[in-house]
């Protein structure tokens, strides 16, 4: 079983939403089912899925209920991600460039 970790943001990555979100916006967000299928396929292949969000820990219950309802498979949710305008890192991929599980695996194998 593979235990490499793959981190995904929630809002505007796996669903519509506001950065950080409010209780109401978290309840109303709409899933991006194509991206959720990729996350679930990676989880099924043995990858550890960590969701990383700017949502406040006070939104944990509504967030995790929404993830359950949207059938997102994950291992952990990390809350209170720092807010930034741009992230510069040597291991980052934009969700807009990911259309299949193969796209993700291609970046892992590099």
Inform me whether the pLDDT recorded for 88 exceeds 80: no
Q: Is the pTM of this model over 0.85?
A: no
Domains plus CATH for the chain?
5-109 (3.40.50.1000)
In the structure encoding, which two tokens stand for residue 106, read together? Answer: 């291609």
Averaged pLDDT for residues 68-78: 97
Tell me the C-alpha distance between 18 and 21, whole Å: 5
Residue 100 phi/psi, 5° resolution?
-155, 165
pLDDT digits (tens, 9 = 90+) for 4-62: 899 999 998 899 987 667 888 888 899 999 999 999 999 999 999 999 998 999 999 99
């Amino acid at each position: 079983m593979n235990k490499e970790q793959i981190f995904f943001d929630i809002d505007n990555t796996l669903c519509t939403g506001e950065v950080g979100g409010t209780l109401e916006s978290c309840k109303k967000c709409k899933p991006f089912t194509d991206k959720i299928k990729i996350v679930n396929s990676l989880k099924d292949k043995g990858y550890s899925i960590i969701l990383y969000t700017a949502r406040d820990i006070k939104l944990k219950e509504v967030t995790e209920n929404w993830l359950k309802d949207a059938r997102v498979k994950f291992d952990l949710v990390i809350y209170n991600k720092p807010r930034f305008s741009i992230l510069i890192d040597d291991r980052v991929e934009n969700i807009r460039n990911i259309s299949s599980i193969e796209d993700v695996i291609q970046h892992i194998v590099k």
